[in-house]
Structure 1
Amino acid sequence: MDLVAPVVVEPLRRRRCAECRRGPLERMIVEFNRIVCLDCADLGHLVFLRRGDTALTRRAREGSALWAVVVRHNRRRTRYERQGLLVEEAALVRAEAACLADAEARARRRARDTARRAERDVAITAALEAEILRLYPGCPAERASAIAAHASAKGSGRVGRTAAGRALDRDAVRAAVRAAVRHVDTDYDTLLMTGLPRHQARASVAPAIETVLRSWRAG
């Protein structure tokens, strides 16, 4: 049987319970379009566990017979975002003890994972740099290194972190090099700052970009 956890809301405005009239409420649930406090909803005995510690959250949730998800509305992003969980206090105590017992082992595992990710990131950047120099043998080595590092920066979402970039797709690599030349070797950024629309600015600097790329391709 699939479990459906209750959803508890941290209200942005002052609210009162429709049953006991208590308020303002720090947390509440909505039942049949009515605001109900946690005590009236039989959730008042649960304790709040803020999000952030994945292992502690997982263990507390698994050890709690009753738990609820706590959310708050983000007006800027127009969505509800998770803040943490409400769990049984005894389950949280057991989870904290378990996390303390294997904290050292988990720290070592995180360190190994971090090292592996760092090695993979270095390999991605090095492969991209080599492909840039293969396609553009006249590109200065320091520029190829800078372009590869920028395009493959972790978490950037840039070309080097896409599937095409990691596969060294020729069009993806060329797009990264073209973007670098546009920003570094032309007055493209200055044109944007004058208020020129992006497509017009790109058209204006296109000949200068081709001149640089032609020289790099020729070696």
Structure 2
Amino acid sequence: MTPRPTPPSGFGLVVHQPLRRRHCAGCRRGPLPLLVVEDGAPRCLDCADLGHLVFLPRGDTALTRRAREESGLSAVVVRFNRRRGRYERQGVLVEEEALARAERRCLADAEARRLRRARDARRRAAGDARFAEAFAAEIRRLFPGCPAERARAVAAHASVRGSRRVGRSAAGRALSEGAVTSAVAASVRHLDTPYDRLLMSGVPRNEARRRIAAAVEAVLAGWSQARSASAG
């Protein structure tokens, strides 16, 4: 039979989760959920002077690292994976007070992250509001006949974060005339023409756009007339 490999030396002090029933060579207790191998013989944690440690399962890297930092004595718990032919970490044994201190540190970090996320969210919301206002103002400059409430609604819709709408494009962020006009035209298409009804009736999108193009242009022209009059 091929001998089982030993755990990597980088594990440090090692405690095993046995795959079969084992009893302590010292006190004869068993079967043991965890054991230490000393001189080839299994020892329970009490006989190995590790009985006061508590088990922290793997999964939370930050908590594990901090628990080991806080603990004067710790051990890595491993179990042999027969299919892979290697030992794998299952967690660590650390002092109970060390684990409590590590948990407090992680909770403090979690609270700090929560507060930072809240601050970032408020900052993004404020920035988005300023951008929507600027977008609405540009709509009103290009299309003075567009009602103010409609301009605000178009700007709010076009500039939703993560929406990939025209307001979030590079041109939209730069408030280019083409991007702003495109956003207004999209609003007119859906709200002031039968475009949506045409789509619902099965008319292909390109054909539906062709049918309502003149109506869209008429609304845009009407809204921009005040600008032309002012420029004249």
Question: What is the distance in 1 between the residues matched to 2:216 and 2:58?
Answer: 57
Q: Unaligned 5+ residue runs, structure 1?
A: 1-45, 50-56, 65-85
Asked if structure 2 preserves the Cα contact closer than 8 Å seen for 1:60 and 1:87, the reply is no
The alpha carbon displacement at 1:48 in A equals 6.6
Counterparts of 1:48-197 in structure 2, within 5 Å, are 49=59, 59=62, 89-90=91-92, 96-197=103-204
Return the index of the structure with the highest Cα Rg.
2
Matched to 2:62, the amino acid is: R
Question: What is the distance in 2 between the residues matched to 1:149 and 1:95?
Answer: 45
Structure-2-length-normalised TM-score: 0.56
Q: Calculate the aligned-residue CA RMSD, in Å.
A: 3.1
| Aligned mate of 1:201, from 195, 208, 214 | 208
Q: Report the 3-state secondary structure (helix = DSSP H, G, I; strand = E; otherwise coil) of the residue aligned with 1:156.
A: coil
Question: What is the distance in 2 between the residues matched to 1:98 and 1:109?
Answer: 16
Question: What is the distance in 2 between the residues matched to 1:62 and 1:167?
Answer: 46
Identity of aligned residues (%): 54
Q: Unaligned 5+ residue runs, structure 2?
A: 1-55, 69-87, 94-98, 227-232
The alpha carbon displacement at 1:99 in A equals 2.0
The alpha carbon displacement at 1:95 in A equals 6.9
Q: Report the 3-state secondary structure (helix = DSSP H, G, I; strand = E; otherwise coil) of the residue aligned with 1:102.
A: helix
Tell me: CA distance 1:195–1:109, structure 2 relative to 1, closer, same or farther (3 Å). same
